[in-house]
Chain A
Amino acid sequence: MALLDVRHLVKQFGAMRAVNDISFTVEEGETFGLVGESGSGKTTTGRCILRLIEPTSGEVLFRGQNVLGFSGSELRQARRNMQIVFQDPYSSLNPRMRVRQIIEEPFIIHRIGTRQERRERVVELVRLVGLDPASLERYPHEFSGGQRQRIGVARAIALNPSLVIADEPVSALDVSIQAQVVNLLMELQEKLKLAYLFIAHDLRLVEHICQRTAVMYLGKIVEMGDTRRLFSNPQHDYTKALLSAIPEPDPDYKPARITLDPARIDLNAPLREIEPGHLAAV
């Protein structure tokens, strides 16, 4: 059984279908990439899975149980296992709370541990994400962007989740700091057997850390499969255009630019198997 099984997910905002009938699975311990440009529906998908936004229809099965049918208390319970790291480390931490309170809050909400146990666990967590426990009494504004994102990661992994939805977790950070946070995410995955739904627009990064990837375009998944196969043998026009547009830091790389003609894309084309483990809507 897949850890996460999303089936025919739809989210309608007024006349617009932000997420238009998408299905995919995330296995235990896997990093699954969801890529696309702004407005493709990737962030909405992540939020629908956690029911931070209520989906219009479809199913979200977490270890076989339909999250969309959960009552309030069942959902709270499920969210111990499904956490999120947000894009913006500047707005996703409460500026009036000390780092200790931010990381301790999930334990208090879920009524876990005694005061003493919680304190010890918070220290353990900040060490795990590479911060100095001496900084626990400080406020978010006293930290750099990369350090704040480490705080956000510590909060997300506090309750030992099985799935972390990482929504553009490094795109607000500088290049040299991005690598630090990506390494942290990879290290935590090995230690804690986490699965990531990694939402990103940076294809180089997705190629680096995701075992499987789905490409979203206007609310649809247009191509999905083993990351290496998808990158080396893209089938959908949109995937091809996206890959040809990546600015590579290689002076000898002169890509043939493939421009997309939106009129030529049939959004109703179903996904079909191109090769084992590689689907495309062509």
Chain B
Amino acid sequence: MSIDKPLLRVQDLTTVFTTPGGRATAVDHVSLELRRGETLGLVGESGSGKSMTALSILRLVQPPGDTHGGPIEFNGRADLLELPERDMRAIRGAEIGFIFQEPMTALNPVFTIGDQIAEALLVHGKATRAEARAKTIELLTAVRIHDPVRRLRDYPHQLSGGMRQRVLIAIALACQPLLLIADEPTTALDVTIQAEILDLLEEMKERLHLALLLITHDLGVVAGHADRVAVMYAGRIVEEGPMRDVFLAPKHPYTQGLLASIPGAAPGQRLHAIEGTVPNLAKLPPGCAFEPRCPQRFELCSTAPPPAYNVGQGRAARCYLHKS
């Protein structure tokens, strides 16, 4: 594979939920690319569609959700959306590893952590039963769990939140995936543990030359760990680009508002709040979804959703301010 070819290329991915309250487009024509060795930070607030984007890529959206659009090109395959479910199952957990937010519920309480890591290896035929134990110990060592031989026999409730998240990372990496999707991997953890887990993820990314899709609501986490960033609002990617460029000179008023709302600049002063609330996905305004809250809105904004405008090297923003 040439160095420039993306491992993952998603085009116009859309997931719609038909509910009694109307049709809600949770993921709206999302396009993104990810190369090996690269971390893409996908940021947004609750309901922005960032988790649903991950589930859509993995084809784990449950009815009444319906995913269409694409293609999702991945590792030489033309479109994941077209694969039979059996082939998709062989990819999930093997070529694509994933970690979800809740380290308290993602592990099965009635199996030891040794069994749960070994299961990942056995299901995908990556080890025989005889080899599994040694590999499991190796993985626990890699995620820096002390005394792994003894820990193998522990049940999830015997571990702290941070330790459980390490076990989940071990499971996600067991089959040496090419892509790791980490959805809010540290949100439930204390800040000192969060820092350790993020450092561990970064180390694993380097060591295994992974592509990492890091989904978070915390702009601080993105600034510390992402190479590129995509900002989601109401199901759409409203801005994307190299992390440094976006943070130092955000182009979309929503990104600008988010960065400005973080405390830090002037203690004791009012924070720069974004007025209003996130819109109901089933009742989006006809134009830009951010228009009702946008301090820079003008006539054009309420006409139709803005397309993605080029706003610099490798950068795009869905905002009419950048229509040249």
Binding site for B on A (CB under 8 A): 37-38, 144, 146-147, 174-180, 182-183, 186-187, 201, 203-205, 207-209, 227-228, 241-242, 244-251, 253, 257, 259-260
Contact = CB atoms under 8 A, between A and B. Distances in A.
A250 B258 contact: no
Interface in B231-250: 243-244, 247-248
Contacts of B262: 175, 204, 249
A16 to B, nearest CB: 16
B84 to A, nearest CB: 39
B258 A176 contact: yes
Contact of B220 (A37, A178, A227, A249): A249
B261 interface: yes
B192 A228 contact: no
Q: Does more than half of chain B's interface fall in helix, strand or loop, or is it mixed?
A: helix
B140 to A, nearest CB: 20
Given A186-B270, A246-B220, A253-B223, A176 B45 contact: yes
Interface stretch (B123-131, B148-156, B171-179, B273-281): B273-281
A209 B247 contact: no
A167 B195 CA distance: 24
Given A179-B272, A208-B267, A260 B223 contact: no
B220 A38 contact: no
A176 B257 contact: yes
B310 interface: no
A201 B274 contact: no
Contact of A257 (B193, B195, B222): B195
A207 B267 contact: yes
B20 interface: no
B192 A245 contact: yes
Contacts of A259: 192, 196
Nearest to A247: B220
16 contacts: A37-B193, A144-B277, A175-B261, A176-B45, A179-B274, A180-B273, A180-B275, A182-B273, A183-B271, A209-B267, A228-B267, A247-B221, A247-B223, A248-B224, A249-B264, A251-B248
A146 B293 CA distance: 15
A249 B46 contact: no
Given A37-B191, A174-B46, A209-B268, A251 B223 contact: yes
A245 B223 contact: no
Which one of A201, A208, A260 has the highest number of Cβ atoms from chain B below 10 Å of its Cβ?
A208
Report the contact-size class of chain B (Cβ under 8 Å from the partner): 35 or more
Given A37-B191, A147-B277, A204-B262, 6 more contacts: A38-B190, A177-B277, A182-B273, A246-B191, A249-B264, A253-B223
Contacts of B198: 247
B150 to A, nearest CB: 19
Q: Which of B194, B217, B263 gathers the greatest number of chain A CB atoms within 10 Å?
A: B263
B204 interface: no
Nearest to B46: A174
Contacts of B263: 179, 182, 204-205, 207-209
A251 B273 contact: no
Contacts of B275: 180
Nearest to A204: B263
B122 interface: no
Contacts of A249: 219-220, 222-223, 247, 259, 262, 264
B261 A250 contact: no
Contacts of A175: 45, 217, 219, 258, 261-262
B199 interface: yes
B218 interface: yes
Contacts of B270: 183, 186-187
A251 B220 contact: no
Contacts of B264: 204, 207-208, 248-249
The 3 closest A-B pairs by CB, nearest first: A247-B220, A208-B263, A179-B273
Contacts of A38: 190
Contacts of A179: 261, 263, 271-274
* Interface-central residue, B190, B194, B196, by most chain A CB under 10 Å: B190
A245 B267 contact: no
Contacts of B223: 247-251, 253
A166 B60 CA distance: 39
Given A176-B274, A178-B261, A203-B191, A247 B218 contact: yes
B54 to A, nearest CB: 18
A244 B222 CA distance: 16
B194 A242 contact: no
Contacts of B190: 37-38, 201
B277 A183 contact: no
Contacts of A182: 263, 271, 273
Nearest to A207: B267
